[in-house]
Amino acid sequence: MMNLAARVLGRVPQVCSDRGLSPLIVGQTAEVQARHDDDALALWVARAGRPVTMSGRATG
């Protein structure tokens, strides 16, 4: 998520937080996604067709 945040923001975020929500097992297909959310960047990792496994926010 940090790499995606840096690419989207064009720099390394000053603050980044994340929270694990459910397991992601080696070999499972997953996507890392981001969207602008007010003054921060909302980030998440989700298994293909399944729930979010990690969520986070990046600012700065």
Q: Say which CATH number the domain at 13 has.
A: 3.10.129.10
What's the total number of domains in the chain? 1
Mind giving me the DSSP string for the chain?
-HHHHHHHHTS--SEEEEEE-S---TT--EEEEEEEETTEEEEEEEETTS-EEEEEEEE-
Q: What is the pLDDT of residues 8-28, one digit of tens each?
A: 999 999 999 999 999 999 998
**pLDDT tens for each residue of 34-46:** 999 888 999 999 9
Expressed as residue numbers, the domain containing 47 is: 2-59
* pLDDT score for 50: 79
- Would the pTM of this model clear 0.75, i.e. be above it? yes
